[in-house]
């Protein structure tokens, strides 16, 4: 009996290890396949993508002729942002993870397992900035007004809305920055849909270079080096 249990346990571990290997190999290969390799963009609207080394945000003008984000994401929901903050960064992710893990040192195993399960709720993390500085972790992309409208539609469709069609602020006192706030979002985080998967799909939505599929920020930023 003990030998049989050990044999089944060993086989299970081998299968589990093989599935993990297949998952990461697939993620690596798909992130190297480029969608929209040569986009044609009229240089009308500047957007940015920014990473903290793990998580990718899409950054857009706070106010433009296409949309005034401050009407749906008001400055007063932040600690100190005001009209001198001209850019808005947005990123999608697991709600509980966002609210309970401001630093990776705060990470709990239960939150990590819940996040990858695909059974939890999600949130949009929005952050206003006064200025944006380009560097290796923040890349500027010039797109047309039409492409920007496509991006706006994608982002707005990621938010949950109330019966009046307005975005729903998360009822929490958690802030990462003086200019940020959280909003309810659609969908669930999982091992197949991460914050970077969402950002990659945002680039796809407006015809920009992107990965076939990615779970990490690395594949996205390689497209723009």
Tokens of 21: 């290997």
∠ at Cα 56 (129, 212), nearest 5°? 140
pTM over 0.85, yes/no:
yes
Q: How many CA atoms lie within 13 A of 141 on its CB side?
A: 30
DSSP structure string for 140-174: EEEE-HHHHHHHHHHHHTTB-B-TTS-B-B-----
pLDDT of residue 100: 85
Q: In whole angstroms, how far apart are CA 139 and each of 123, 132, 161, 188?
A: 24, 10, 30, 27
pLDDT in tens, the chain (225 residues): 666 777 777 788 888 889 999 999 999 999 999 999 999 999 999 999 999 998 999 999 999 999 999 999 999 999 999 999 999 999 999 998 889 876 655 556 565 566 666 677 999 999 999 999 999 999 999 999 999 999 999 999 999 999 999 999 999 999 999 999 999 999 999 999 999 999 999 999 999 999 999 999 999 999 998
């Amino acid at each position: 009996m003990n030998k049989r249990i050990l044999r089944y346990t060993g086989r299970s571990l081998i299968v589990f290890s093989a599935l993990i290997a297949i998952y990461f190999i697939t993620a690596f290969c798909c992130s190297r396949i480029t969608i929209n390799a040569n986009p044609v963009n009229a240089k009308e609207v500047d957007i940015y993508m920014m990473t903290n080394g793990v998580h990718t945000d899409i950054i857009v003008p706070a106010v433009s002729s296409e949309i005034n984000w401050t009407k749906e994401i008001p400055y007063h929901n932040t600690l100190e942002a005001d009209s001198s903050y001209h850019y808005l960064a947005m990123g999608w992710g697991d709600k509980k993870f966002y609210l309970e893990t401001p630093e990776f040192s705060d990470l709990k195993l239960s939150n990590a397992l819940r996040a990858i399960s695909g059974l939890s709720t999600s949130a949009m993390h929005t952050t206003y900035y006064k200025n944006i500085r380009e560097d290796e972790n923040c890349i500027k992309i010039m797109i047309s007004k039409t492409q920007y409208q496509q991006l706006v539609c994608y982002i707005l469709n990621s938010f949950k809305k109330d019966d009046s069609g307005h975005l729903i602020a998360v009822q929490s006192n958690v802030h990462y920055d003086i200019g940020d706030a959280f909003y309810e979002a659609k969908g669930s985080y999982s091992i197949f849909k991460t914050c970077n998967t969402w950002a990659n799909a945002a680039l796809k939505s407006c015809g920009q270079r992107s990965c076939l599929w990615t779970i990490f920020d690395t594949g996205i930023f390689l497209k723009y080096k």
